[in-house]
Amino acid sequence: MFVGFFLSTVINYHCTYCINSLTHLFGRRRYVTEDTSRNSFILAVLTFGEGWHNNHHYYQSTANQGFFWWELDISYYILVVMSWFGLTSDLRKPPKHVMDAHRIRDGYVDIGMFKANWARAIAYLNNAKQKTGAVYDERKRALDELVESTTEAAQRIADMSVSNAKPQDAE
């Protein structure tokens, strides 16, 4: 009873609930999103597919979180088997434009996460405005100039990456 129910339930809950914290810290980012979500093979195995968190944040309207054949998604496989018996239907998969969005990678700048961090810095300075008065104006002006120049540089790099990307062979 202890191992079969209590221990397995506690382990299952811990694995499931740690997805929102651990997959925003560890793993790889395939898609550019405005958060810090990542894909983790280890967590995907432990949680039956929930570890493909970056995929989920990029395209949420799909039954599977493992978008590719090598991304183990046991929850989706169970749903597919259930659909054979009529227990589920209309299992949505990501469209082609979502599947192909990751192909332009070499030299690509992840400005989604970059923007989220700048938003935090600006929110911090806006909060400090009430306390610092004139010092705030100088800091905000300096930060705005930095944000503008860095964003322009990141966009130029991203534009160069897109224009220099090699076309992928059709699968």
**Domain regions of the chain by residue span:** 2-100, 111-164
Cα dihedral angle (56, 40, 20, 115), rounded to 10 degrees? -70
pLDDT tens for the chain, 171 residues long, are 888 889 988 988 888 788 888 888 888 888 877 788 889 999 898 888 888 998 888 888 889 999 888 899 999 999 999 999 999 988 998 888 777 766 544 444 445 555 555 666 666 666 666 566 656 666 677 777 777 777 777 677 666 655 554 444 444
Give the residue among 59, 68, 63, 62 at the shortest CA–CA distance from 78.
63
Question: 148: which 2 tokens?
Answer: 């503008």
CA count, 13 A, side-chain hemisphere, 162: 9
Instruction: Check: CB of residue 31 under 8 Å from CB of residue 60.
Output: no
pTM of the model: 0.57
Instruction: Check: CB of residue 65 under 8 Å from CB of residue 73.
Output: yes
Question: What does residue 27 show for φ and ψ, rounded to 5 degrees?
Answer: 125, -165
